Structure 1
Amino acid sequence: MAGKQWRSEARALIDSIAPERVDALLKGAVDLHVHSGPSTMPRQLDHLEEVDQAAAAGMRGVLFKDHHYSVSPMMPMLERISASSGVHMFGSLVLNNTVGGLNPHAVDYNVKMGAKLVFMPTAHAANHIRNTHRNARLASNVQLRKPYGITVIDATGELLDPVKQILDIIAEHDVILSSGHLHIAEVWVLFEEAKRRGVKRLLVNHPAYGLHCTYEDVSELAAMGAMIEQSACLFVDSRFNVFPPDELKAQVDAAGVANSSMGSDLGQVDNPSPVEGMRQIIAMLLALGFSDEDVGKMVRDNPARLVGLES
């Protein structure tokens, strides 16, 4: 009942904002969390269709994420086919079982193929698997073999050696490190070591969803230089909605506008498209009282800076 009520509240806020105001802020936006296909999971659009929709909305960039393969080797073809779109396209790698888990060789190969973001384990993180026991929203893809749970720390809480190797590769190539779906207790160990090893671009995805972050964690992660990305799908008129609108404001307030960004985390069937999700989260932020300037920072300037696009 709460989810249905929150979707209704979200819709009311979204519809209260003039579409022209939203469209103006969508121009130049950068979405670093797009789940287009092909994928073993049902997707409503493929990577090329996503670029076409982003271009039509005047967006500046999109980053493709799949839980089970890297889009990075496809990027030269995608860029050639969509050369006239004006949309910057980025690939990423997720360190789940399908690429060998915490595999420095996979990281080395993919960043050399142009991957701009390395996600720690998501659907195959031990923390994620524990959370999905009775929670279908976070469930792993049932079409694949049952995963083994991955953690980045040993029994004493120390970071594993392969993870240290991965951090060195990320630092060397100056790409983004994401916390994936690790537990916040793991994220702290990971990010502190990442900073020591020279990683400059840190990203926390949906901190309140699955990672068990408190507002204090969010504030402290932002203070250490991490970008805090909120997933639009968790707040807008989406079947993944699990939070009331006020939670979005509280999350942004905890991190600060300067350290906050918005990603759609969309592309699944029976959901808004990634572009529509970005449009809805922009409207919701405006309805929650954030200024046009602040919203522009969160959907345009901050993610662009994180991924290395020139201003």
Structure 2
Amino acid sequence: MASDTTQIAAPYSTETVDAILRGSIDLHCHSGPSVMPRYLDHIEAMQEASAAGLRAVLLKDHYYSATPVTELLNKHYSHLGVLMLSGVPLNNSVGGLNVHAVEHGLKLGARLVWMPTFSSANHIAHHKHDVHFNEKFPQTTQKMLESIPLTVLDDDGKLKEEVKAILDLIAAADVVLSAGHLHISEIWPLFEEARKRGVKRLLVNHPTYVVDASLDDMRQLAKEGVYMEHSMCMWVPGSKFRFYDPEFLGQVIEAGTVDLTILGSDLGQKGNPTIVDGFRSVIETALEIGYSEADVRKMTATNAATLMGL
């Protein structure tokens, strides 16, 4: 039996982590300007990613589409060697389930459409029923108007007509449909209709958090070819949103499969670890719990590239 002073070698070296980090893709970067407190802006996010060798970063703001910003960054900061991406978030600030916002965003170059996140009825219900919810999600720096709860289903449980029109635009542009913060019960009919209408790129963000997907739900999503992105901020030491342990990371990866799992930072909040530190930490954790370098590279780079058509 090893003595207390015996040092067990980590299953990786700094060089290994650096090598995996280079070429990684972050599909969940919360930089600013934002009504949420952020530690960096969009330009600084691109610079941080470039210094670490990331291949691409997708900027996410719950209140506006950062697509025009990414178009400018890709034109004027191309020397940094990072492809910047964004999408259209369908929250109250853009008119909710607004087909015109989607059409405009896609014309500008959006690569993804998020169903309602902060404005979803599901997110709002979680907020009302969890007295600690404010500690789990960053709050706006100033009080904002009461949200109008959004759902993709009508009173009869059928998909709303305006959602079908949005799905048609997503299919025609061949971009990604994210389920946002919809409840898993809403995601099934949404994705079923999306497939019927020709949407090929399906994503569920942090399926175990707010979305309330079980491991069995994730196994079914994987059978249907849906990508699942897990937020690094929920595993990184020092994160205000660290809710899960390494064992659970292994469980969600096994449920969603290595081939359909994406690890995105979901970082950028003031007071949290940096985006690159999040990547380093979760790469180390995945290696420690037994995943190979090739598997970790899939989950931090290859799968995201495939989903986004890079």
2:20 match? 25
- Misfit runs of 4+, over 4 Å: none
Please state if 1:55 is matched with 2:40: no
Give the Cα separation in 1 of the matches to 2:274 and 2:18: 15
Give the Cα separation in 2 of the matches to 1:269 and 1:17: 30
Please state if 1:278 is matched with 2:263: no
Give the Cα separation in 1 of the matches to 2:51 and 2:26: 14
1:181 match? 181
Contact 1:131 1:138 in 2 (8 A): no
Give the Cα separation in 2 of the matches to 1:102 and 1:196: 19
1:301 match? 302
Give the Cα separation in 2 of the matches to 1:166 and 1:219: 27
Unaligned 5+ segments in structure 1 are 1-12
What's the TM-score once normalised by structure 2's chain length? 0.93
1:263 match? 264
Q: Which amino acid aligns with 1:150?
A: L
What do residues 155-189 of structure 1 show as CA deviations (whole Å, max 9, x unaligned)? 22100000000000000000000010000000001
Q: CA deviation at 1:17?
A: 4.5
Please state if 1:46 is matched with 2:50: no
Q: Provide the secondary structure at the position in 1 that maps to 2:125.
A: helix
Contact 1:40 1:143 in 2 (8 A): no
Contact 1:117 1:176 in 2 (8 A): yes
Matched-pair identity in %: 47
Please state if 1:201 is matched with 2:201: yes
Q: Which amino acid aligns with 1:166?
A: I
Q: Which amino acid aligns with 1:138?
A: F
2:137 match? 138
Q: CA deviation at 1:276?
A: 1.5
Larger of the two Rg values belongs to structure: 2
What do residues 123-161 of structure 1 show as CA deviations (whole Å, max 9, x unaligned)? 110000110122111365353211111010012210000
RMSD of aligned Cα (Å): 1.4
Q: CA deviation at 1:80?
A: 2.3
1:160 match? 160
Contact 1:179 1:187 in 2 (8 A): yes
Q: Provide the secondary structure at the position in 1 that maps to 2:80.
A: coil
User: Alignment partner for residue 89 of structure 2, among 90, 94, 116?
Assistant: 94
Contact 1:123 1:139 in 2 (8 A): no
Q: Provide the secondary structure at the position in 1 that maps to 2:84.
A: strand
2:221 match? 221
1:8 match? none
What do residues 72-124 of structure 1 show as CA deviations (whole Å, max 9, x unaligned)? 12223211231101111101111100000000000000011000011111111
Q: Which amino acid aligns with 1:176?
A: V
Q: CA deviation at 1:220?
A: 0.8
Unaligned 5+ segments in structure 2 are 1-7
What's the TM-score once normalised by structure 1's chain length? 0.92
Q: Provide the secondary structure at the position in 1 that maps to 2:73.
A: helix
Contact 1:54 1:275 in 2 (8 A): yes
Give the Cα separation in 1 of the matches to 2:278 and 2:92: 29
Give the Cα separation in 2 of the matches to 1:146 and 1:184: 24
Q: Provide the secondary structure at the position in 1 that maps to 2:74.
A: helix
- How many residues end up aligned between the 2 structures? 296
